[in-house]
Structures are given as C-alpha cells and as structure tokens.
Amino acid sequence: MNSRRLARGATAASRVRALNVRKLALLLASLTVAVQFTPTTAIAQTAATGSIQGRVLNATNGMYLGNARVAVEGTNLETFTNQFGEYTLSNVPAGSATIRVTYTGQTPQVSTVTVAADATAVQDITFNAGDSTTGEDGTLVLNEFTVAANRFRNAQEIAINEQRSSVNIKNVISTDQFGDIPSGNVGELVKFLPGVQVDYGSAGGNSGYSDSDASAISVRGFGAEDTAILIDGLPVSSSVPGSLTRTVTVDQLSINNASRVELIKVATPDMPNNSIGGQVNLITKSAFELARPSYTGRAYFNVNSLTASLSKTAGPTNKDTFKTQPGFEVSASYPFSSTLGATLSASAANEATLTERAQNSYTYTGSFTNAAGQAPSISNPLLNRVQVTSSPRLIEKRSVNLHVDWKPTPSQVLRTNVQYGTYESTEAQRRMDFRPLLGAGADWSPTYVIGVAGTSGTTAMTVTTRDRTGETKSGQVQYSFKKEGWNIGAAASISVSTGEYLDAQNGHYSEVALNLNPGRVNLNSITDGVPQNVTTYWRTNASGGLAGTPKPYTSLNSWSFDGTTAKSGEAVNKSTRGLYKVDIERDLSFIPLIGNNPLSLKVGARRDEDKDEKSGRGSGYREILRPGASYTVANILDPDYMEKPGFNLPGQQWVSTYRLFQLNQEQNLFYAPDFDEATNTRVENYRSWVNQQKSITETTDAWYGMLSGRFFDNRLSFVGGARQEKKSREGRGPFTNAKWDYIYRADGTLYTDIDNPNGVQLTQGNGTIDPTTGAWIPPTTAPGSPNWNRPIFENTARGIALRQALTTAGIPFPILPYGPPNNSLASAQRQLSANRRVDTSIKGDPSYSLSLAYKLTSKIDLKASWSRSFGLPKLEDGNNGILSGNNQFTETPYTDTEQIANSGFLGQLAVANPGIKPQVSDNLEGNIAYYTDSGGILSVSYYTKTVTNQIQNFTSPSGTSTFNAVLGALGLDPSNYDNWRVVTTTNSQNDQKTSGWEFEVRQDFGFLGRFGRNIQTFVSYSMTKLAEPSTPAPYSITAPDGSIVALTPSVVTIDRRATKFGGAGIQYSGDRFSAQIRGTWREEDEDSGFSRVILPNGNLLRRYAPEETRIDVTLNYVLSPRYSLFLSGRDVFNAEREQILRDDQGLLPSYAEIADIRRFGVVWSVGVTGKF
C-alpha cells in the first residue's frame, strides 16, 4: 500500500470520525432542547418541597427489589430503587403525595404519604405482604413452601425487571432461574441466552478439559477471546497452561457466589468496550438485598454414566479411585444492620469423567486396486488410519467468596469482595493407533481393510498423563458517595490466576510411547469408520510367534520401544488483571433549561494493567537413559489398569507413566544432559524452554464522558457519550536469527569483504572434525572450489588474511566451527534466544455510543443504540498476534547473491507487530419488547456490525513509518537497517459485515389459572449472517534497486460459526415438587479450522460439526420447610459428538463421512438442599 493511498484512507477515516462526532453532538443537543417542549407537570421552584425515601420488599422471598419504579402520581417525579431496594424522591411538593411502585410481574402498590416542607418522609413498600409474617423479634418469617413454589417465577421477575430498566441493550438471568446447576459453571447458565454459544472441552487446543464441561463463551458469532467476563463490572483473570490467550475459561468460575448474570451487548461509555459480541458480568450476592439472614447449603454426589460405580475402580492415576464424587455448596448472608452486611459462600465440586474418541483418515487417490478392481477415489475411499483414545479424568474445584457491604454514612457505601478458587484435574490419555500398509496387494471394502505385508505398517500405543492445576485470587473495593446531586465512585481490583501442567512433581512422566512393529495390520467389521476388530501379525519369527501369524496387541509382551528417553513436561502460566478507576457524576437539575427532566453528566478515568506470562520447561522436555542402564517394557506395565480403549475394542495391558517415574527413582535410569552430546536432547530441551518464555504487559489508560437523562414524562431515556483509550505494551518472546552462523560487525551488520561477498560462515561446512584433536579438517577438494566454503578456518593465505582483517577490526571469531544447531547447544543458543523485548504504545480511535429506550405503551418498550466496540488482537497467533509464534520472529541478513534475488534488499525481519491496533466495529442495534402482566417478556432484536481494522500481513521497506514503528518497538535503530524490509502485520482498510436477529420469550402459563402460574417456559433463538469480507487491495513497494514490487495481502477475518442456534425449556414449581427440562440447539457448522481438501475436477472436501442438541433435566422435591432433594442431569441423551466430511459434488459415500466421534457420558448429580 503506497503512502498516498494510506493517506487517503486515513483522511477518509478522519472524515467519518468527525461526522460521527457531529452526529452525536447534534443528537444530544436536540434531545436537550426538546425538553423545552416536553408536556410535563411543572413544579414551581418556589413551592415548598420535601423528600420521600424508603425500601421496596418482596415478601414472597424476603428480597429487597432493585430497579423498582417509584413515581409520584400527578407529577413527572420518578426514580428507581438501587440494588438494595432503596429509593429517594426529592423535590416532592409539601402535603399529601401518592406514590405508585411498579415491578415486573407484580401488582402495582399505591401509598399515600404526607410530606412536610424541608423534611424527609419514610415510606417502605411491600409486595405480596400476605406471603410472610413478622416474628416476635421483628424479623421477617417466610413460608418456605411458598418460596419453593415461586422460586422460578421470582427469579425470572428479577432478571426481566433488571433487563427492562436498563437503557442499553442487555440480557439478564438470575442464578436461580434455571434450577440447580451443581457444577456451578457459568457457561451452563448463560448458554440459554440469545446470541450465546458455549464451547465445550479443549480450550485453545490444550488438554486437561472434559468434553462434557463448558469451557468458554462466544457471543454473536465472535470467539471466546472477544468475550470479556467481569465480576461486579471489574475484570477477572484466567490462565490456560501452555498458551497466552485473552480467553477467560469458565471452568474456574463458580456461580455459587453470584445472584445474577448480565450479558451486556451494548456497553455505555463508562464501561470497557473491548468485546465486539458482548461481555458477561457476574453480580455477586449482597446481604443488603435480604430482609433477614439467609443460610443455604447443598450436598450432592456426581457420577458419569460411563464410569458409574459406588466402588473404587482403576484409573485415571496409578491407584483405584471412586468415580462417584462428592460436592457441596454453602452460602450465608447476614445483614447485621441497615449499615453492615456480609455474604460468605463456599463450594467444592468433584467429578470423574471419561471421554472415548475415535479418529480416522481415508485415502482418496492411488494407482493400485482392490480385489474388485477399484482404485481409491472419493467414491471408493480407503480407510488408512484409526486412532482410538480413552481419556478418564478426575476434577476437583474449590471456591470461596466473601462480600461485605458497609455504609459508614447514609451517603456513602463501601463494598469489598474477595474470591479464591482452585482447579485440579488429572487426566490419562491412552491411545491405540492402527495404520495398515497400503499399496499393491491391499484389499478393502466399506467394512474391512486388509493391509499389505511389510515393514511400514504400524500399530502404536501412547499413554499421556497430565495434571492441570489452577488458582485464581481476586479482590476488589468499590466506594460510592451520593449527596446533593453528586455521585462519586472509585474502584480498585486485582485478580491473579495461575495455571500449570506438571508431571514430575506429581510422581509421573508425561508420556510413554510404544510400537508393535507388525508385519501386517487388518481392520475388520468397520462401522462409522471405526473397526470393531483389529488383527495384527508378526513381522519376523520371534519367541512369541512366527512371521505371518497373529500378534496379540493386547499383551504388553508383544510391544517394543527404544527406551532411551523419558518425557517430562512443565508449563506455567500466570495472568494478572489490575484496575483503578474514578467516576464523578453530577445531577444537572439545577440548570433552569433542564426543567424537571432528570439529566446527569458523568466523567471518569480508568487504568487497566494486564500482564500475561508463561514459563517452565515446555512440553518438549526430555531426559535420556544413562549409559549402561536398561529396562524392559514389562518393567513399566500398569498393574491395575487393563481397561478397553473404547468402541468395542478389547481390554488390554497398558504402560504406566507412574511406573516409569518410580523405576527411575529406584534405579536412577535417566538424566537431563547439560552439555553438548551426540544426542540432540539437550538442544531440544533448550528450544522447548526458550519457546515457553513469553510475556506481555498491556497498560490501558481510558477517559470518558457520558450524558444520561429522561424526557417526555420519563418515557424516553438515553445515555450517550465518548470514550478514549491509550495502550502501552511491553512484551518478551523468542527470537530466531536465520544467519546465526555468520560473523557480524560491532554494529550488528553482516560482515562481508571483497573476498567474501556472501559473508563468513562459522559452521563446519563440508569439512570434518578430527576425532582425536578436535581440529577442523578442510575438504579434500582444491582451495577455492565450491566445497571449500569455510575460509575462516583455512590454513591458507586467504584464511590467514581473513583472520588478520577481523583481528584488526576488533571482530571476535571462534577457533573451531560451530556444529549443527540441531545437536550443538552453542549453535542453538546463537540461533534461538529467549526474552527478546518489544515495547510500544498505541492510541486507538475514540468510541462513541448512544442508547435510547422509549416506553411506547405500558407494556411495549423500544430500544435502539449506535455504538463502536473493539476486538483486541490475540496475544500470540503466529505473526498475527502481539507476540510472534514460536520460531516466527526471525532476522535474516541477505548475502550478495540473495540481495540480487530480493530486489536489492539487504535483509528481512519477520515479526508480529506489537503496535497493531484493535479491530473496530461500528454497531447499530434495535430491540422491541412486550412485557406481560405476569412478568413475562417477548423480545425481538436486530443488529448489524461493520468490522474494520482487521489484521493483514504487510511488507514495509526501510524509511517508512511502519518500518520505523516496528523496529522501534523491538528496541532496534532503524538507521542500522537501511534497505531492509520488515514482514509484519498492519490494520486493513477493508471491512466485513455481520448482522443477526435474536428472539426471546419468557412466560408462564397463567392463562390456565392458578396452576398455570407455576409453569414457566422460555425460548431463545438467534440467526446470524456473516458476509464475505471485501477484497483486500493490492499494494506496491519500491525496492532498493528501483524496481516496483507488487504485493497482495491476506486478511485475518471473522471465524465462521453456526449461524442458527437457540435454547428452550419448560419448568414447573409446586409447593413440594418442581421439575425442569431445558436444552440448547445449533445447526450444522462447517469447521473453519479444517483445511479443505482439493479433489479432482475442482471438488472440495469439507469438514462439518452436525447439528447438535443438549438436553438438561432437574427434579426437586421439598421434604420439609428446610430440606429438599434434587436430581440433575447434564446432556441426558448423551448424543455422540461427531465431525463429518462431505464433498461439494456429493460423491463421498455415507460410510466414510464420519471422521471423529466423541463419547463422554451423562453427568448426574443427586443430593439434598437445606435453607434456613
């Protein structure tokens, strides 16, 4: 892209931003002026006035109601209760006043209050007063059977009322709304909201996650890295061992300490807006929400249908374990007084899971034929590989939370929240891998494959044991001061999360691999791409059998391995989120122009300090066998575990990573080399360590202004403003020097001279090393020939002159050549180095937003918004993130010959751009909602997003602003790199549009009478449409030799996900019995991460995830006013999760469509709940 086109793009973008600012300012000004023509009932400024304050209570469940609407009839005076049910009405005319309190699903309450001039009248309001009584000590006494019967209804009312009272568009769900969720996983709760898709199993490709557990949340088709998760509006950290990611994994978060969850789809200017799809906010429980102390507890057992047993059974570790695991949750909320309250919550959840997985691959081309004379083709595919894996896992989660609210004065509130959680899982993957030798002589059909006899067919066994541990510590303090029109808030929070993969500390190695070395492999009784029977044969005569006879792979004595290495992985990740902010809001009612229309101005500043780092030895670390030491396969037999790998294959003997570790402890078999040896283990360990050393620190400073108010007799509400952010980044990561084996000058440039125009290399080249003296011996060919390529070591006039020239110039050089970097540590250290620093700062575009809410009727609300949100770049993603991927940050000086081939460029830097800006999404959204008298909602939303600033690869020559910025971030002087080029990324000028419809229904069956009031149903359905991105424009650069180099960039676009998905459920709650059935559905989804296979005649083979339905069930029976029993099942129909292949021309037969099958059972929970 030339500079003039860049300038035109920047100018156009500036014009658009200026136009957007003018539009926003004009609209806000228009709204303000419009109040002059608002038909309101004016209150004379000179009239005597007082105020009314009080609290609003729901006697059915003993909870104070937030966002209840409190209005003085005959005036436009109106307010809403705060989170604690408190309200204050100011400037109420003295005398008799009638206040009307409304709340979703409740009959309005009307009270008459006498207001004295310059005084405050107190009027508390109680809904459903007949559902409770008052004890002798004055405390509220609830009818527990009434509480149980109205549990779901009350929870729904709270959520819908919260959602309705918000000016910006969001969905709200109460944690009690969908019954018991013993796992406490927030993903299992929000998955029923419109626009939400939940990811299960592996996060970021890492192991240690159960396929039955929700792991991450995506909103409106944008991935989990684009979905922020907050607690009380403040950030929470999450750490995934092995990778740096912005994804907050939800398996370490518990909803036990939360009262409700918000899905915010349009952020207001006082919120971060770095989630294009939306952000999830967990609101913690507060004792101030309760009229009396509350104590709840739940004890239960979890069991998986695939491992159901009340006795100890083998696996997944080196000992027998219970597969029926206990769990408990306790919560105590105690309002000590009207000024002090505390809530303490704790939970422990244990679970045993099992995943059975079968993967296969097919051959679609070949010159050989089967017995029927047919060659492999897309219509006659040949099964060439099958992997069957059994992954039992034990999971332990712990969480404790303390929330304290204190009001030192009536105008001040101090809130503190401390949370601590741990996660531990032990997983053992046991895999069988069958690959028959295919070629002439092979035979196959849809149900069998007969391999060719030979030495290339394989059968492998791999046992991988990995322990994942995690810990999250969070603390936050929030302060607010509200008095005389001022509302000042301040907050500070810190959240630290660590995640580790460890093995040696837990008494095992990470992996052991064996090979059967079969002479032939036959796959028999193939169903859905998985053989029900496999036969392997001896390759040569042996003590166990004769060549050509069956070789039993179920017996460990048939197996062999090199036995020279032991793998021991270690990955440690840490994520820290720190925040400080202050807000100042001023009520503008003192301005005469405003009249009696509520209007306020809010300004604030915020600093976020985020640090993500990973360390450890990495997953490639190995130890080697000591000289003279030995052991056999029989020595590492797992004495306890002889289970089936799954899919009807027989039980068999397995090796044990625990036994190998124990054997090493007893006999000192292995060691980690710390010097150059003939083996490359030390080099590989070094590379594994270097690539595990990464960190990135982002500091974000934000400042914002926001105007909010209500006009037209409070029927129109708005909130709008602007937010500006500035980021600084400091990172460290691996660096690869492609010319590591050359001599460099002191200024870092490649050394060349007239005799060595292509530089001077320091490796052995075509010479040899004398094994006795260690001296370098030149090739036997004549000096100057192509093979005579290391003059620095020649004992010739040229070599002597070169060494003299280097000595004179003060350039050091070695006496002996460096060895190959794959087995020489010294060479590897020159080629690959750790912790190369990057440092830069960016200032993004301002974000503007305006949200409007209009009460069309008493039951119909309209909402609309225009906003700008951002998608942060990934922390590491090849060279498309902030930090380069492994071995992708390289510096390559060119030799004279290479310079000619590269248009005169002297070298190339390939690196991620640490100054890359976020994606920008300009959003338009609308919502219409109908609220029923019984507390239900029927809602339709539409949104459209135009995403720009997507990341594209980009080549920039020296002398350009991009070149200088990237090198400056790397700590390099651009003047030392004249006539170089940098291959990096930049923000594209093209755009991509996405849009969607969202539907939501929550309603009871009140039309059936009183019984119907106890039946609630909900439905959510979403449709998204992702347009193809605009084609990136080619650009050109001028090379040092004057030539024009034309380039076409590639752009990282939005990943495709399922475009139609939803959730639904129906629930009944009676005095003693309640039941729920709820589920989620999504349509078939093409796997965007699968590389499509190009077949003959332009045919393409694609991979899909078929449509999927997950059904959950909960039953509850009240034994007494205090205790109840419950049974809960997750994904009760246990449908297999499959990945299927399909070609565009429909030639692939159905028997070869399934490429991946996963089975993971039904998780059942049964237990008892107590409430006091």
Q: What gap in Å lies between CA 492 and CA 405, rounded to an integer?
A: 15
Longest alpha-carbon distance in the chain: 115
Q: What gap in Å lies between CA 9 and CA 284, rounded to an integer?
A: 46
Enumerate the H helices of 749-824 as residue ranges.
797-808
The tens digit of pLDDT for each residue in 481-536 reads 999 889 999 999 999 999 999 898 899 999 999 999 999 999 999 999 999 999 99
Position 1030 scores a pLDDT of 83
Position 591 scores a pLDDT of 83
- CB count in 10 Å sphere of residue 1075: 17
Element (H, E) at 556: none
Residue of 87, 56, 92 lying closest to 77 (CA atoms): 92
Position 14 scores a pLDDT of 44
The tens digit of pLDDT for each residue in 144-169 reads 555 555 666 777 888 888 899 999 99
pLDDT bracket for residue 826 (50, 70, 90): confident
Structural domain spans, the chain: 49-138, 156-587+627-668
Q: Phi/psi of residue 824, each to 5°? A: -115, 120
Q: What gap in Å lies between CA 706 and CA 672, rounded to an integer?
A: 60
The tens digit of pLDDT for each residue in 840-894 reads 888 878 899 999 999 999 999 999 999 999 999 999 887 888 888 877 888 898 8
CB 204 within 8 A of CB 241: no
CB 720 within 8 A of CB 851: yes
Q: Phi/psi of residue 610, each to 5°? A: -115, 130
- Mean confidence (pLDDT) of the chain: 87
Residue given tokens 């600093």 in the structure block: 607
Query: In this structure, what token pair is assigned to residue 740?
Result: 């590591």
Position 35 scores a pLDDT of 42
- Report the pLDDT averaged over residues 354-363: 95
- Report the pLDDT averaged over residues 65-77: 89
Strand partners, 304: 1163
The tens digit of pLDDT for each residue in 894-912 reads 888 889 999 999 999 999 8
Residue of 196, 329, 320, 324 lying closest to 255 (CA atoms): 329
Query: In this structure, what token pair is assigned to residue 859?
Result: 């039951």
End-to-end CA distance of the chain: 69
Q: What gap in Å lies between CA 211 and CA 198, rounded to an integer?
A: 12
pLDDT bracket for residue 569 (50, 70, 90): confident
Q: Is the per-residue pLDDT at 543 higher than 80?
A: no
- CB count in 10 Å sphere of residue 628: 5
Residue of 1172, 1015, 1155, 1014 lying closest to 1090 (CA atoms): 1155
The tens digit of pLDDT for each residue in 1042-1051 reads 889 888 888 8
- Report the pLDDT averaged over residues 445-453: 96
Q: What gap in Å lies between CA 542 and CA 38, rounded to an integer?
A: 98
The tens digit of pLDDT for each residue in 1030-1083 reads 888 888 899 898 889 888 888 888 888 889 999 999 999 888 899 999 999 999
* DSSP 8-state symbol, 244: -
Residue of 192, 197, 194, 158 lying closest to 176 (CA atoms): 158
Position 1 scores a pLDDT of 39
pLDDT bracket for residue 660 (50, 70, 90): very high
- Report the pLDDT averaged over residues 558-579: 90
Position 787 scores a pLDDT of 43
- Report the pLDDT averaged over residues 380-408: 95
Q: What gap in Å lies between CA 325 and CA 750, rounded to an integer?
A: 64
Q: What gap in Å lies between CA 1063 and CA 1109, rounded to an integer?
A: 9
The CATH homologous superfamily to which domain 49-138 belongs is Carboxypeptidase-like, regulatory domain (2.60.40.1120)
Q: Phi/psi of residue 144, each to 5°? A: -65, -30
- Which of the pair, 89 or 151, is modelled with greater confidence? 89
Q: Is the per-residue pLDDT at 368 higher than 60?
A: yes
The tens digit of pLDDT for each residue in 319-344 reads 899 999 999 999 999 999 989 999 99
Q: Phi/psi of residue 40, each to 5°? A: -120, 165
pLDDT bracket for residue 768 (50, 70, 90): low
The tens digit of pLDDT for each residue in 731-749 reads 999 988 888 999 999 888 8
Compute the half-sphere exposure of residue 42: CA atoms within 13 Å on the CB side of its CA.
12
Position 134 scores a pLDDT of 66
Residue of 452, 449, 451, 459 lying closest to 525 (CA atoms): 449
Q: Is the per-residue pLDDT at 995 higher than 50?
A: yes
Q: What gap in Å lies between CA 606 and CA 850, rounded to an integer?
A: 20
Q: Is the per-residue pLDDT at 780 higher than 70?
A: no
Element (H, E) at 169: none
CB 1053 within 8 A of CB 949: no
pLDDT bracket for residue 49 (50, 70, 90): confident
- Which of the pair, 663 or 765, is modelled with greater confidence? 663
Q: What gap in Å lies between CA 349 and CA 395, rounded to an integer?
A: 8
Element (H, E) at 146: helix 144-149
Position 16 scores a pLDDT of 42
Q: Phi/psi of residue 109, each to 5°? A: -110, 130
